[in-house]
Amino acid sequence: MKQFAYVSHQVHDFSDDDLRELMRLARKKNKELGLTGLLLFDHPIFFQVLEGPPDSIDQMCATLQSDERHRDMDIIYTNDDLAVREFARWHMGCKILGNGLPGDYKDLDNRVKKIFSAAKPSGELAHQLLLEFRDMKNSFVDI
Ligand SMILES: Cc1cc2nc3c(=O)[nH]c(=O)nc-3n(C[C@H](O)[C@H](O)[C@H](O)COP(=O)(O)O)c2cc1C
């Protein structure tokens, strides 16, 4: 299997409803394509990881690259040799970060901001952060 993660910027403001509708369609399609993953939204930045069969991943990567609702899509890491899914729990988990988050999420949010304020975000740190989110005791999905 393949796995990749990218960061991008929203073009227009995404409301919770926009995101909810996006996730509804994404989960349906990801299920059909055998894709799993997680999307963190740290207004105005999207940070997403996707994993699954190579053909599905390549197809989705191309689809995402031509989606005009976000821009400056920057792939920060790829793994073309993934043996076991790391985000099997979600056809697309979605968590909104931002101000006012409690405890562990606040720490996560600060670290996401730090990683993406670097000129070239570190793929290794980004991957580590995604795994930590997955393993958080009360890791839940917003939308
Ligand atoms: C930040 C962001 C993340 C997205 N994630 C997914 C996803 O995980 N799965 C998916 O099917 N579509 C996702 N989409 C939507 C796709 O770009 C595309 O609109 C959708 O797959 C429908 O494509 P189609 O009309 O070619 O079938 C995402 C869009 C954005 C802006």
Instruction: Quote the pLDDT of residue 76.
Output: 94
Nearest Cα residue to atom 1 of ligand 1 = 46
Instruction: State how far the alpha carbon of 140 is from the alpha carbons of 56, 64, 66, 105, 124, in Å.
Output: 26, 24, 29, 11, 23
Mutate to test the pocket of ligand 1, among 2, 11, 36, 63 (most ligand atoms within 8 A of CB): 63
| φ, ψ at 62 (rounded to 5°) | -65, -40
The CATH topology of domain 2-135 is: Alpha-Beta Plaits (3.30.70)
- Distance from the CA of 103 to the center of ligand 1, in angstroms? 31
Mutate to test the pocket of ligand 1, among 6, 45, 64, 70 (most ligand atoms within 8 A of CB): 64
Nearest-5° angle of CA 60, CA 62, CA 64?
A: 70
Instruction: Quote the pLDDT of residue 139.
Output: 67
Strands (E) across the chain are located at 2-10, 36-42, 45-52, 70-79, 93-96
Instruction: Quote the pLDDT of residue 138.
Output: 67
Residue-range domain boundaries for the chain: 2-135
Instruction: Quote the pLDDT of residue 57.
Output: 98
Q: Is the pTM of this model over 0.75?
A: yes
Running along the chain, 143 residues long, what does each successive block of 10 average in pLDDT?
97 94 97 97 94 98 98 96 97 87 82 86 92 81 76
Instruction: State how far the alpha carbon of 139 is from the alpha carbons of 11, 69, 87, 93, in Å.
Output: 28, 27, 12, 10
- Distance from the CA of 26 to the center of ligand 1, in angstroms? 6
